[in-house]
Amino acid sequence: MWLNASCLLEFQIPVPTPFLLMLRPRSGRQQWIAREEYVLSPSVAAAEFTDSFGNLCQRVVAPAGYFSVRTSVDVETADGSDTAPWAPFVEVQQLPDETLPFLYPSRYCESDRFTEMAASIATGQAPGYNQCNAIVDYIRSSIRYTPGVGQQIISASEVNQLGNGVCRDLAHLGIACCRALSIPARMVVGYLEGLEPMDLHAWFEAYVGNRWYAFDPTQPNMQGGRVAIASGRDAADVAIYTQFGDPVGLLNMNVKVERMPGPPY
Amino acid sequence: MWLNASCLLEFQIPVPTPFLLMLRPRSGRQQWIAREEYVLSPSVAAAEFTDSFGNLCQRVVAPAGYFSVRTSVDVETADGSDTAPWAPFVEVQQLPDETLPFLYPSRYCESDRFTEMAASIATGQAPGYNQCNAIVDYIRSSIRYTPGVGQQIISASEVNQLGNGVCRDLAHLGIACCRALSIPARMVVGYLEGLEPMDLHAWFEAYVGNRWYAFDPTQPNMQGGRVAIASGRDAADVAIYTQFGDPVGLLNMNVKVERMPGPPY
Amino acid sequence: MWLNASCLLEFQIPVPTPFLLMLRPRSGRQQWIAREEYVLSPSVAAAEFTDSFGNLCQRVVAPAGYFSVRTSVDVETADGSDTAPWAPFVEVQQLPDETLPFLYPSRYCESDRFTEMAASIATGQAPGYNQCNAIVDYIRSSIRYTPGVGQQIISASEVNQLGNGVCRDLAHLGIACCRALSIPARMVVGYLEGLEPMDLHAWFEAYVGNRWYAFDPTQPNMQGGRVAIASGRDAADVAIYTQFGDPVGLLNMNVKVERMPGPPY
Amino acid sequence: MWLNASCLLEFQIPVPTPFLLMLRPRSGRQQWIAREEYVLSPSVAAAEFTDSFGNLCQRVVAPAGYFSVRTSVDVETADGSDTAPWAPFVEVQQLPDETLPFLYPSRYCESDRFTEMAASIATGQAPGYNQCNAIVDYIRSSIRYTPGVGQQIISASEVNQLGNGVCRDLAHLGIACCRALSIPARMVVGYLEGLEPMDLHAWFEAYVGNRWYAFDPTQPNMQGGRVAIASGRDAADVAIYTQFGDPVGLLNMNVKVERMPGPPY
């Protein structure tokens, strides 16, 4: 399907403030960006680099006053996310080098604390995809999904204790459990068509059957219409914006995802 | 200044043919891409990767029949290219690691054959920027610039013997001479506002005074309005498209660069 | 000074077990490896890769039975670690791209929880090196260094509550506080000549005055004789060995650092 | 088999001279380095980096006077090089991204000039490994291998005209022909056990059947005992040493490869 996905961020900046932005979806095997707008207002010099996860990042110093970042993409993406029940566990020695960082604990995914819990959830499951599915089922039944409730980022341990969380929190818990089973898992931030209420979304991917598969503990089935913006070890790696110095007010954030009848031409 | 730069490639494809495309300018310290369109027609799956020079490359299999690639960017770029007479030569031991590949001979820049000639051209010049300038002056006075005359890619040695060439050829000669003086030099392919006749353009950059500076042997002064699309060791690294298998006809190529009154909003 | 530094790890392996090893110091501007031994016993096939932090990592499947890893290097390293009181804070917009990952919170350095504490410790200090020094002074006076007491890895928050820790824990706390001040900070694991009792050691580095400087909260002054083995965001990135599957017993670990009269020839 | 391979380079340096060295074999799936010595005499500060092909490179400024570089490795390597007749051609669109640079023409492998010749040599061969083998057979029958005859580096076109060459030249010709058939091919410099007369050696690898296979036009069969030191597009990428500034005399170069009874312990 073809989608137009857009995000507007508006700030009121008291003093010139450095930002790091991560809002540019990249073309890849799962999605193709045919048209992209990326407008900083007022227009300021920006430098771009690619981080170690392959995300395109922009560095900018926002001037004092009103500052906005507006991005919009026309993108072709799959109608349905691939699923692969019974896709096998990949032995650690067979994993591609680049998947290894996603085996370790990270800021919000303390996988070293989930060894027992993950083993218990996965009991009786075929190693690999089915274990991941069991983890997602566990999260769906144990953690209440509370979309849109803004909060400080909490870790997998904390969300597990709290019993509810936003999409990001549920993804953290899924990632922590997968890693505890020696399955590489990573966080994805992006757009999801039809999300209610519309917002940026987070899900996770696990590496089984020799590729990454998407899992989304907040949605009843693995519908498509996904546009990945950035991926990393957890929310610490994939903040769509990071602001340094004294806290700055986000006046407004507006996310839209709309079906297009076809390619943009 | 703000520019809209666009390139349309149209092909007639006899059998499905793999292409490698390199047509996406990236935002960096010299230019900022605010809006980009990238349309393949008919729409086909494409995969993107970043090569070792930092260029965004797309891999695609063009289906049989008519196939076009259309790219368009709104970009802010400098009104004038930076110049820095007397910027010093950087001792090899002080060069950043990533500049070193640009010291070696490459396919079309046989710098190993230019040791004497480069030394002769640079005689009496302060090491660094002024040497590069002397090389550009030499090229301007010795090699006739023949824009738009399509031909097989020839090497720096060949253009030096032939006495005339397109922008790419003159850049190759400049690069070969700079490297022969142990100055890192690289090829840049991009847009240049006001180029006559309008086409894609090629120039080169040399690393002196601790940064890259642009040099353009085909233009009387270092005017700005440049949009770099790709950079590499020579034309072998920065072909805007590479086609594999049996040769395919390029029906049409259309390049435009137009001033915009301001940012695209 | 010239040092011979060696590490022997001995395991009893119940079933073939994948390991990831990170025990090879690399030559760099701070140290030069003139001779290296790297012996796996029994000899097994190993594959090596470089992680995103530049560390050399080996992947190996240890066979059942006795398994040892022995590494030994002859290395030239500085007599004293560089210090630079008053070296200035680097504005975020001026930081090199590759330092940015070291600004974010990580598994064991929850810098997002140390904003107030770090600001309080650094009050009145010149931004940059002196702030880092104040953090080290704070750690020295508040956290008891308890070398050699093995334990589960704890985070900066946890060590701050507990009031004591091993070298790794004190480094985590230092890193978390630096990052909370927008100073990139990273963990280093390595050898330290004269350490009592001898063991592998951990310290941290902070990026001020346009380079990385070493800080060691466990040692009274910044003596030299350091051989960095690996660096990363925190202990999750720089485990000298990571073992997957059922836990394996470490029979013995033996670390030695000895002065050499000169280079090994 | 276990080998000890060593290389000694001795120079007389008139004035301090920057060098780039590429003499450190790396552990990988084909070879495992158990012990390594790397001695610069006199001892000088050196900095190391990894180039875009994965080779470990050292940067050093050799002081005036006698200067030597001595490297020695104990390495486990295969008894015989893998061969795979009928291993299939990999369609360009299926090639891993990292193999693509090895499809393009390079300084000494002007594959763009070998389209017809390569097609002619490969006529009737199954696409893939057998084509590479036909190229090697062609080189063996048409180009006289003249080991040890030092000379300026010449390109594939030049060796093809000349009719004789050293190992490096024959490898260049093989690479150029493979690339002309859209088969990625790269140069390897390394040690070969039993080479007569003993020297550093060069061969090439081609990517067919989803992996790299070694080909050696100078040897009657693909014997093992190979230790790869560096790989790249051609000799311009893999010089074991590159010296900048005024030419320096190489007093002596001594290469040894000896069987070891077993691992070094």
Mind listing the pLDDT tens digit for each residue in A78-92? 999 999 999 999 999
pLDDT score at C150 = 60
CA D53 to CA D184: how far, in whole Å?
Answer: 14
D232 vs A117: CA distance, rounded Å: 48
The 10s digit of each residue's pLDDT in B212-226 is 999 999 998 888 999
What are the backbone angles phi and psi of residue D180, rounded to the nearest 5°?
-65, -20
Tell me how far apart the alpha carbons of residues A159 and A144 are, in angstroms, rounded to a whole number.
10
pLDDT band at B149, cuts 50/70/90?
Answer: low
Contact status of C35 with chain D (Cβ, < 8 Å): yes
Question: Using CA atoms, how far apart are residues D248 and D231, in angstroms rounded to an integer?
Answer: 25
pLDDT tens over chain D, length 265 residues: 999 999 999 999 999 999 999 999 998 878 989 899 998 989 888 888 889 999 999 999 999 999 999 999 999 999 999 999 999 999 998 999 999 999 999 999 999 999 999 999 999 999 999 999 999 999 999 999 998 766 789 999 999 999 999 999 999 999 999 999 999 999 999 999 999 999 999 999 999 999 999 999 999 888 899 999 999 999 999 999 999 988 898 999 999 999 999 887 6
- What local confidence, expressed as pLDDT, does residue C124 receive? 96
Q: What whole-number distance in Å separates Cα of residue A245 and Cα of residue A134?
A: 42
Q: Which helix (H) or strand (E) holds C146?
A: none
Helix, coil or strand: residue C243: strand
- Is residue D145 a contact partner of residue D165, using CB atoms and an 8 Å limit? yes
Alpha carbons A69 and C196: distance in angstroms, whole number:
54
Instruction: Please check whether residue B90 is in contact with residue B207, taking contact to mean a CB–CB distance below 8 angstroms.
Output: yes
CA gyration radius for chain D?
19
Give the N- to C-terminal CA distance of chain C in Å, as an integer. Answer: 15
Q: Do A48 and B28 touch (CB under 8 A)?
A: yes
Let me know how many helices (H) and strands (E) chain B has, helices first: 4, 14
Q: What is the pLDDT of residues A213-258, one digit of tens each?
A: 999 999 988 889 999 999 999 999 999 999 998 889 899 999 999 9
Q: What is the CA radius of gyration of chain B?
A: 19
Name residues of chain C where pLDDT drops below 50. none
Q: Do C263 and D39 touch (CB under 8 A)?
A: yes
Q: At what angle do helices C129-142 and C167-180 cross, to 10 degrees?
A: 140
| CB contact set of A155 (below 8 Å; sequence gap of 6+) | A107, A108, A109, A110, A172
pLDDT at residue number B245: 86
Q: Strands across the sheet with C46-50, in order?
A: C46-50, C56-62, C17-24, C241-243
- What pLDDT does residue C149 have? 62
Q: Omega into A42 within 30° of 0, i.e. cis?
A: yes
- B44 in reach of chain D (CB within 8 A): no
Contact D2, D263 (CB under 8 A): yes
Q: Mutate which of C104, C155, C157, C237 to test chain A, going by most A C-beta atoms within 10 A?
A: C104
Paired tokens of D249: 């005399």
> Which range is least confidently modeled, A154-158, B107-111, D32-36?
D32-36
Instruction: Report in angstroms the alpha-carbon separations of A129 from A139, A142, A184, A185, B25.
Output: 15, 20, 12, 12, 39
- The three-point CA angle D168-D179-D230 to 5° equals 40
Q: Name the H helices within D45-197.
A: 115-121, 129-142, 156-162, 167-180
Closest CA to D132 of D182, D188, D166, D93: D182
- Provide the strand spans (E) within chain C: 2-13, 17-24, 31-41, 46-50, 56-62, 65-77, 144-145, 164-165, 185-192, 201-208, 211-215, 226-232, 241-243, 249-260
pLDDT mean over B152-179: 96
Q: HSE-up of B69 (CA within 13 Å, CB side)?
A: 24
Residues from chain B contacting residue A58 (CB–CB below 8 Å): 27
Q: What is the sign, positive or negative, of the torsion defined by CA atoms of D75, D78, D83, D84?
A: negative
* Cβ atoms C184, C178 nearer than 8 A: yes
DSSP annotation of C246: S
Chain B partners within 8 Å of D182 (Cβ)? 244-245
CA-to-CA distance for D151 and D166, rounded, in angstroms? 9
Q: What is the pLDDT of residue A47?
A: 85
Name residues 73-102 of chain D within 8 A of C (Cβ): 76
Mean per-residue pLDDT of chain B:
93
> Taking CB atoms and an 8 Å limit, are A39 and B70 in contact across chains?
no
Q: If you average pLDDT over each of A29-38, A39-48, C191-200, which comes out highest?
A: C191-200
Of B34, B45, B50, the CB nearest to A38: B34
Distance CA D67, CA D9 (A): 8
Confidence of residue A150 (pLDDT cuts 50, 70, 90): low
User: Which own/partner contact pairs does C121-126 have at CB distance under 8 Å and 24+ positions apart?
Assistant: C121/C177, C122/C181, C126/C86, C126/C88
User: Is the Cβ pair C263, D54 closer than 8 Å?
Assistant: no
Taking contacts as CB-CB distances below 8 angstroms, the residues of chain C near D50 are 50, 54
Asked whether C72 and C5 are in contact (CB, 8 A), the reply is: yes
The tokens for D229 are: 């030191």
Q: From the CB coordinates, do chains D and A have 3 or more pairs under 8 Å? A: no
Scored b (16 or more CB within 10 A) or e, C24-50 reads bbbbeebbbbbbbbbbbeeeeebebbe
Dihedral over Cα of C177, C181, C182, C185: its sign: negative
> Residue C168: phi, psi to the nearest 5?
-60, -40
The alpha carbon of B58 is separated from its chain's Cα centroid by a whole number of angstroms, namely 18
Name the nearest CA neighbour of D134 among D115, D119, D155, D114: D119
ipTM over 0.85: yes
Q: Is A245 on the interface with B (CB under 8 A)?
A: no
Whether C57 and C21 have beta carbons less than 8 Å apart is answered as yes
**Could you tell me which residues come within 8 angstroms of residue C67 by beta carbon, excluding any fewer than 6 positions away?**
C10, C11, C12, C13, C40, C41, C42
Identify which of B65, D25, D46 has the alpha carbon closest to the alpha carbon of residue C48.
Answer: D25
Contacting residues of D for C37, CB less than 8 Å apart: 34-36, 264
pLDDT at D95: 95
Amino acid at B210: N
**Which residues are paired to B213 by β-bridges?**
B206
Q: Is C172 exposed, middle or buried (0-12, 13-18, 19+ CB in 10 A)?
A: buried
Number of A/C CB contacts below 8 angstroms equals 63
Write the pLDDT tens digit of every residue in B12-66. 999 999 999 999 999 887 898 989 999 898 988 888 888 999 999 999 999 999 9
Closest alpha carbon to B185 in B215, B160, B157 = B215
Q: What are phi and psi of A177, to 5 degrees?
A: -70, -40
The C-alpha atoms of residue A48 and residue A69 are separated, in whole angstroms, by: 15
